[in-house]
Structures are given as C-alpha cells and as structure tokens.
Structure 1
Amino acid sequence: MWAFPEIRNVADIVRYNAKQYPQQTATQFMGYALSWAEFDEKSSKMANAMRSAGVNQGDRVLYYAGNADDYFLTIYACAKINAVFIPMNWRLSSTEAAGILNDAKPALAIVQNSFKDLWDSARSMIDLDIPSIDMIAGQREQNPLWQWYDGADSSDPNAYCGLDDTTWQIYTSGTTGIPKGVEFCQAGIMNMRLCEHLEPAYTWGAQDRFLFCVPSFHLLGLGLSMQAMYNGATIVIATQFDPTEVLQLINEQKPSLAGVAPVMLQMLLDHPKTENTDFSSLREIMYAGSAISVGLLKRAMEKIPCKFMQFYGSTESGGAITLLRPDDHDLNNEHRLTSCGKPLPLIEIKIIDTDGQTLPANQPGEMLIKLPSIAKGYWQKGEAWQEVFNTGWYKSGDVGYFDDEGYFYIVDRAKDMIVTGGENVYSTEVENCLSLHPDVAAAAVIGVPSEKWGEEVKAMIILRSGTKPSEADIIDYCKAHLARYKCPKSVAFVDDFPRTGAGKVSKKDLRAPYWENHGRSIG
C-alpha cells in the first residue's frame, strides 16, 4: 500500500535515501551540508548513544532546541530505536514548560545552550530527574551533542517498530486550555505520506530543496519536511523565522519549495530586502497554520512568481486535510481564494448541525473529518480524546460548509463565532473584508459584550506604515461591503496581536479584557 515499498516507517525514510541518493545533500544548515549517507550514519550513532544512556523502546526523548540539522537527526535517531520524539515549544514560559515535562516524563532531553536558563528553571519546578545533553547549533564537531555520540556504534540499531507504536508526541498550542500531548503512531505518519503522495498536486522529488523556516515544534514544518524527505528532497534549514535570514537563504541556497504560516508571508512581503530578493528558484509555496486574508494572498501572488498551495489541517489530523491547489489560485476569483479547497485522497469530510444531522451544500455547520492519518490519541487524556474523536470521525471544532462544486470554506472556529442580536457573524468573513482595505496590514475580529445585542463585533487593526485612517473610515468601509449586522461597532488600532506559541493570533487573549466580570466563557 505504500508509495515506496521499502519505506514502512519513519526510520526507513533515511535508510532508503541513504541507499538511493548516498551523496546527495540531506540537510543544509549554517553553511554545512550532510549527505544522506552521513545523515544515516550520524542518526545511527545518536540512536545507539541514546540506548547506552538508558533510552528504551517507548521512552520519550525531548528536543528542547530550535531549528538545526540536529532536529532531524534526533527525529530519525528516535525512530531507529522506536523511542518517542517530542519537539518542545521553546516559546513557552518555564512554568508552562514544567507542566509539559511533568506530563511527558522524558527519559532524555537534548537542550540547546540558548534555552539552558529556561530549562534549568523548568526543571527546578518539578520532582523529576531528567538526564540532558547540551547542544550548540551549527558547531559541527564542536557541538557537545555531536561529541556525545561520536564514539558510539555506527551500525543501524534497526529496532522493530509496530504500526501502532507512538513515534511523535506533539503538544497542542493550548489556545483552548492546557496543552495536550498528541500521539502519532507509525501507521498514521506513513498514511499521511501516502495521502500526500497520491495527491497529483504534490510534485515533489529528489531534485527539490525544501526551505524549513517555521519553528521546530510546529507540525506545519515537521509534516512538510517529512513529506519532502520521503521524496528524497534536501532540507535547507533556517535557524529561525527571521525575514532577513530567510530572504538571504532564498537568494543563496535557491530552495524550490517552502512552507510558511500567513503571518510569516506578511513579514517577508513587508521587509525592505524583499525588493532585492530573487524568488525565481521557488516553484511552490505551501501556506497553512492559520487563516489567510484575501488581501495578503493577492499581495503574495503578485510579488512572488511561483505556485501557491494552501492546506487546512490540525495537529490531531497529522497533516493536510484539504488543499486549495495551485490551479485554484485565480486572482480573478476572489471567492475561491477564501476556500480551503478539497480533501486529499483517502480523506472524507461531512458537515453536521447541532443535532448531529448531515447538512447539504452551502449550509454552515461543524466539520467532521475521517482520515487514515488521525492521531493515536491524547497522552494520558483518554476522556479528552473521546470528546473529539468517536465513531471514526474527528470533531474539528471548525464551522464550515461546502459549495456546489465541492470546495470547502472555513467560516470560523466554533468558539470564535459571534452571535449578535440572534445573527451569526463569522469573524473570518469580516477579517477578509478588512484585509482588502488599503490601510490595513492585518485584522482580527472578536465579539465583545453589548447590552443591546448580547455581543457585538469589534475589529482590532494593525495599520500599514504611514497610514492613519479613523475608526469611522474602517467602519464605513465595512458597511460598503458587508451586511450591517456583520460590521464592527468599534475599532481598536494596535501594534500587534497576542499570539500562541505557534504564532497564531490568540483570540482568547484578545477577548479576555472585554469579558472580564461577565458570565460568558471566553475560552
């Protein structure tokens, strides 16, 4: 059933590529390249060093570090001994990190020197003895991590990996509460690779170079880079998402593929060095992670001469659920640009009402998804998993609909929908309208308390540099394009939005000050 019969689990990806493309570059990082043969050998050494340190099958290994070749080496080293890889969100506070450490109870941690103080602080809050290995990104032979495993056996440990064995554990960003450890098993990860491989819009191959510039703990980067490596592509690694560094890598390393979140795309377009960047090597940009405004997408398509493809998914889905394929990116069809596309092969979606009844086309309701890559569950939180997954369907928490041509549209998160005077207002619709205003760089729309309407629409606006529209200007613009009840009753101009660790706008934090001392939940 697999696209490549020799690749049956995560560890097989590096084994296969080391045989097929031994001298081709696997990773390019800070001026240093590792071939697939070198990558295979190093990941085996690290795996054997982990075993010698007491890491057994099923044990958790925490990666508390940023983007680096070590990130990928750790993924495959864990896979070769059937240990569980956990990429830690390094943006969390030490208190939040301590909560995850207490939940995961890792047998070993790899800790980058720049996060050592946070690590030590988090460790001091819990009663666990967690061995750790220091790491300094990009130092090659001077890297303490490389020195730690350098003398280990270079033969492949080749541990047996069952299809239901947990391989990754990724903690949710926590926008709806305490982060949960989402477990991914070998079968789910490989099924996602199969769904993407069966999709004609994915034309990735060993000749490609994938730009990895999203945070290391984000499934967007992990999923897309795995798909790139599954097809033998080289991974060009940025140390972090810094627009200057990313634009320099595009100029110098000539990636052909890239994956970004919409906020990153906006930062690239707004950067002064964009004008002197040669984007000609890029043939496709994948964007995902949060909603994108029509205005931003149009700017990107006009500036960067490549194909664009959007995917909609969630941490629990293990990757893409739907794709808005390159051929659907038509600047003359603005409504289609607001779609999240159609499902990938092997994936089904249905829309249900509050009574659980399936809805026809053009009727908004909650999106339920059936897919072979679904997560195994929430680590030690079985009841919470049952709330979102039962009878084979995953409850996305998103409100959406499909049109007569089968294209799906996300109109809101169920919890972000605004009910004003008995009418449902979907914040994304208002945000899309605002994004087309010439003075608006970014917009976030929330519901705030109203004595008359229960709640009313409020727009939070980040302005373009050098512009200064009034609140009335923004509201009047909306009135010219939207039904009156959907229009903001008030506008706040801000420098930035509160964001989750994954870079998404935190609507919960935006709403919180307005709903304090009110009876409604703002989660």
Structure 2
Amino acid sequence: MPDYWARHDPSRLALRTADRAIAFDAFDRITNQVAHLIAAGPTVPGGFVGFLGKNSPDLYFALFGAAKTRSGMVIYNWRLSPGEIAAQVADSQAHMVIVERDSETLWQAALALMAEPPETLWIDADDTLEASAAGQPDTRPAIAVEHDDVAFQLYTSGTTGEPKGVMFSHAAINAMRLCEHLEPAYDWQDGDSFINGLPNFHLLHIGIALQCIYNGVAIDIVRQFDPAAMLDAIGARRPTLLTLTPTMLQILLDHPAAQTADFSSLRLTLYAGSPISLGLIKRAIAYMPCRFMQFYGSTEAGGAIALLRPEEHDLSDEERLKSCGRPLPLVAMRIVDAADRDVPDGESGELLIRQPSITKGYWRRPAMTAEAIRHGWYRTGDIARRDADGLFYIVDRAKDMIVSGGENIYSSEVESALSTHAAIASVAVIGVPDPRWGECVKALVILREGHVVTEPDLIAHCRAHLAGYKVPKSIEFRESFPLVPSGKISKKDLRAPYWAGHGRGVA
C-alpha cells in the first residue's frame, strides 16, 4: 500500500502528528529501512515481531516494515498486567518486541516472568524506530511475501473468555478492501483525514488505519484516547473522518469542552465495537453536524460485516436506529436456531457470517478454530434478528442474555429503554441470582452530572417502555464501569460479585 502511493502520488499525506507531516514517499522509504532493521535481528520469515506502545508513526513503520520481511506484527495491549503480557508473548513466540520506554516498567516485569525472553528493541520520543533504522538501505528487501502469510495478529479482548491470537493474512486484508471498494457508502475524497485515537491493539484501530492507507487517506495520530486531547485535536487539525466506540463517543460528548468544541470539519463519524443505545445515537446526531455510519463487525471477521448507512440514520425512525444495517458486498449473514436451522424474519437466533476476510484462525488453537468456524461460517456468539426489510438487529451477546423464569431477556433491550431517560449517562444491564426465577434483571447506571433520580423513578420509566418481566428488579448507581481494553463495558467483571458462590460462570 505505501509503495503504491509512493509511486503514484508521492507527496500525498500519509501520517500526521501534532508537529509533523509524513508523505507517502517518506512513509514507504522509512518502512523499507525498518524492514532491513528487523531482518537483521533474530526474527525469521513467517514468525512474529511484537509491538508494545501507544499510537505513533513508529507503530505504522513497524507494521509495514515487518510485513516486508514476511513477519507478522503482534500488537500487545499496554494496559495489561505483566503476567498477561508475558503469557501473550510466550504464546505468540515473538523473537523481537519493539517497546516504548513509556512501557518500560511493565515490560521489565513481564520479562522477569518469561522463560525465553525475546530481544527488546527500545524506542522513545528521541530514539524512535525511524531513527534506529536510519542507517539501513531505503530499498525494499528482496523477500517474497505470500498472500497467505500472516500480516498481523491481535489478541481478543477477553470479554468471553481466554484471550486468543487472531491471525490475519495479506489475502484477507486485501479481500476486506475489495468488500469496501464495492460498497458505495464508503465515500473517500481527496483531502480526507482520519483522526485516530483508538487503542492500537484493537481491530477497530488497525482495520480503519489500513482502510485509510489503502485509499490514500491521511491518518491524524493521537497517542491514546482522551476526550480533552481528542477535542483539541479535532479543533486544531480539522479532520474529516472520526471513528469511536459508543463508550468513547459518550465520554467525548460528556466532556465539558464538548459544549464549545468545533466539530464542523467532520463530514462522517463511524461508530462500532459494541451496540449503541438509542439515547446516545439520538444525542450524537442532534449534537454533531455530520453524517453517521455504524458498522458491525468482530475481530475474527477481519473488519466490517454490516453497515447502517448514513441515509438510514433517521431521527424520525427510532426502530431503524437500533439496527446494525445490512451486510457489505461479498458478505453473507445467517440467523440460526440451536440446530443450525435458519429462522424466519423477526425471530432471534445466533448470527453466522461468511466473508472473504475471515481470520485464518486462532494461533496454535486448531480445536478452537474448528469450533468457531464451521463449513466457512463464523459463529459470532451474537443473538440477532432480521426484519422484513433485510435490516439486521443485534439483540444481545449470547452470554449476556438473561434467562428469568424461562423467559429470554436481552440486556441490550433494557439498556436501550433506560438510555432514553434524561438523567442517565451510561447503563449496563446484567442478570443476577434470584431464588425464585433463577436470575433476574439488574441495571447499573451512571447519572449525568447535576442530575438526580431515584430507583423507583427509573423502574417506572422502564415499565412505560418494556414488558413487565423485562423491567429491572433493582437498580444500582455507579460512578464508573470496568472496561475491557477495547472500550467495551466488562459485564464479566460486573457480574462476578453477584454470582460468587452460585456456581455459574460469569465470562
């Protein structure tokens, strides 16, 4: 991708930080030098190079530099504990890990737990990866890269169990670009720039970044998501494209500086990563003067599965705003029952997807791969339904569904009802033990600053919007929620205290 733009439009902007702009000709040249630096180290073609650090140009230099040596890049989560980092490094068998000095304490503690520690290549603001590679040749290494080679690997966030390394081949990445190229809702324009403060160890970051680089769209790099920093960067750098998870979007809009922030440069905001509440998307549409597009996907899918396109974001059609849209070109979606039979429109079941960008599988876990991908169909673990117009709706995660007295209750439906209350900033609904019903509905809420509301008030609000058996039996007020690294609320952690001693798994 960098090579193409370096030959066809070398001065086109590729990367930008607060104080630097990098064109595609420099981007391609630097990634060649990084490739030679990596090839001179202990790595082997077909192996992995690791990266532990926040967002920076060096992240992209490492990703494309490693690819040019036929090495896959594994991006580790700098928020993890030393033990978790050590386990992922050992699992990925990386021979070299590029580590920012900001993560030195974490990395040194992780190294002490490794039986066979990899070589560490330290980088920081002064001694960057680019600087370390400056003496290397700036031509591409004479190494053949195969379509089926792993380009990068990400570890799942662990919302549903043990983190697993998800492999992505060059062929899958190119196939995802083809799906997007055939999709008219992706409207790339000359002069576009994408502001990226997403966590780099998550597919939402890497997937959108690759999409931008493929299309010659500049990436405005923000070190990490911070609402004040993002608002400042949007005002100063005037990006045209923004992507956030719903949690991040809410945090951004809740920040006091959002009241005076200038969003006028944005023409499109994409949101993905978890279902969005009706209250939040209505608020965002009313507040931000740009178009919105939702994409539903998963790490294993390699990118977007379905889009709720900008023209379908209609404030007068609240039901449609709950949808995740329709599949992209070349993507197939099925909803099946427990016996893998397709269910009629309107009925809920597990969502299966088939698309050309699907993962190669879980690294060193063939049994898990075979369980997740059967006959080419990936089992998402999401409960979904399709309406008569062909729109898909993610009803809940299978593991988040609450079974109370034999009735299936989808937590997202209760969350959506509560999110429309003016006093609520954020809400998470879980099932908790109940001696009569097996489990019952409990809502955990964070109130907007300056708002006061009682538990009976919120229960009455739910009764006006939900069937009686879906109404929370109790509501608890919180100051914050535990989050997984990708920014989603960790319901596993929310459930754990209530189910301790009850013999039910909380993953």
Q: Which amino acid aligns with 1:487?
A: V
Q: Which amino acid aligns with 2:217?
A: A
2:47 alignment partner, one of 59, 66, 79: 59
Is the CA contact 1:170–1:217 (under 8 Å) kept in the aligned structure 2?
A: yes
Cα deviation for residue 519 of structure 1 reads: 2.4
Is the CA contact 2:248–2:487 (under 8 Å) kept in the aligned structure 1?
A: no
Tell me the residue number matched to 1:211. 195
The SS at the match of 2:84 is helix
Tell me the residue number matched to 1:444. 428
The SS at the match of 1:184 is strand
2:217 alignment partner, one of 226, 233, 236: 233
Tell me the residue number matched to 2:279. 295
Tell me the residue number matched to 2:105. 117
Q: Which is worse superposed, 28-37 or 433-442?
A: 28-37
Is the CA contact 2:99–2:120 (under 8 Å) kept in the aligned structure 1?
A: yes
Tell me the residue number matched to 1:273. 257
Taking the aligned partners of 1:147 and 1:458, their CA distance within structure 2 comes to 53
Tell me the residue number matched to 1:477. 461
Q: Deviations over 1:335-387 (max 9, x none)?
A: 10000000000000111111111111001000010110000000000001111
Taking the aligned partners of 2:111 and 2:190, their CA distance within structure 1 comes to 42
The SS at the match of 2:199 is coil
Taking the aligned partners of 1:120 and 1:21, their CA distance within structure 2 comes to 42
1:256 alignment partner, one of 237, 240, 255: 240
Q: Deviations over 1:42-94 (max 9, x none)?
A: 11000001111132211211110100011111111011111101111111111
Is the CA contact 2:154–2:201 (under 8 Å) kept in the aligned structure 1?
A: yes
Alignment of 1:363 onto 2:327: no
Q: Specify every segment of 5 or more residues in structure 1 that has no aligned partner in the other structure, as ranges.
A: 1-12
Cα deviation for residue 158 of structure 1 reads: 4.8
Q: Which is worse superposed, 510-519 or 315-324?
A: 510-519
The SS at the match of 1:279 is coil
Cα deviation for residue 295 of structure 1 reads: 0.6
Is the CA contact 2:199–2:485 (under 8 Å) kept in the aligned structure 1?
A: no
The SS at the match of 2:250 is helix
1:515 alignment partner, one of 486, 499, 505: 499
Alignment of 1:85 onto 2:70: no
Taking the aligned partners of 1:81 and 1:38, their CA distance within structure 2 comes to 19
1:126 alignment partner, one of 114, 123, 128: 114
Q: Deviations over 1:180-231 (max 9, x none)?
A: 0001111111101110111000011442101111011111011011111111
The normalised TM-score by structure 1 is: 0.96
Taking the aligned partners of 1:275 and 1:397, their CA distance within structure 2 comes to 38
The SS at the match of 2:51 is strand
Is the CA contact 1:182–1:375 (under 8 Å) kept in the aligned structure 2?
A: yes
Q: Which is worse superposed, 155-164 or 334-343?
A: 155-164
Taking the aligned partners of 2:23 and 2:351, their CA distance within structure 1 comes to 43
Taking the aligned partners of 1:91 and 1:102, their CA distance within structure 2 comes to 17
Is the CA contact 2:384–2:395 (under 8 Å) kept in the aligned structure 1?
A: yes
Tell me the residue number matched to 1:20. 8
Alignment of 1:381 onto 2:365: yes
Question: Counterparts of 1:314-393 in structure 2 under 5 Å?
Answer: 314-393=298-377
Aligned length: 507
Is the CA contact 1:64–1:115 (under 8 Å) kept in the aligned structure 2?
A: yes
1:410 alignment partner, one of 391, 394, 399: 394
Taking the aligned partners of 1:21 and 1:158, their CA distance within structure 2 comes to 24
Tell me the residue number matched to 1:48. 36
Tell me the residue number matched to 1:171. 155
Tell me the residue number matched to 1:9. none
Cα deviation for residue 144 of structure 1 reads: 4.1
Cα deviation for residue 470 of structure 1 reads: 1.0
The SS at the match of 1:457 is strand
The SS at the match of 1:268 is helix
2:413 alignment partner, one of 418, 429, 435: 429
Tell me the residue number matched to 1:284. 268
Taking the aligned partners of 1:349 and 1:102, their CA distance within structure 2 comes to 35
Runs of 4+ in 1 over 6 A off after TM superposition: none
Q: Which amino acid aligns with 1:333?
A: D
Cα deviation for residue 126 of structure 1 reads: 1.1
Taking the aligned partners of 2:83 and 2:393, their CA distance within structure 1 comes to 37
Tell me the residue number matched to 1:107. 95
Tell me the residue number matched to 1:157. 141
Is the CA contact 1:133–1:144 (under 8 Å) kept in the aligned structure 2?
A: no
Cα deviation for residue 520 of structure 1 reads: 2.0
Taking the aligned partners of 2:428 and 2:395, their CA distance within structure 1 comes to 14
Is the CA contact 1:205–1:232 (under 8 Å) kept in the aligned structure 2?
A: no
Is the CA contact 2:61–2:130 (under 8 Å) kept in the aligned structure 1?
A: no
Alignment of 1:71 onto 2:71: no
The SS at the match of 1:147 is helix
Is the CA contact 1:205–1:228 (under 8 Å) kept in the aligned structure 2?
A: no
Q: Which amino acid aligns with 1:276?
A: T
Taking the aligned partners of 1:97 and 1:333, their CA distance within structure 2 comes to 45
The normalised TM-score by structure 2 is: 0.99
Q: Which amino acid aligns with 1:172?
A: T
Taking the aligned partners of 2:43 and 2:33, their CA distance within structure 1 comes to 14
Is the CA contact 2:42–2:119 (under 8 Å) kept in the aligned structure 1?
A: no
Taking the aligned partners of 1:212 and 1:501, their CA distance within structure 2 comes to 16
Is the CA contact 2:58–2:128 (under 8 Å) kept in the aligned structure 1?
A: no
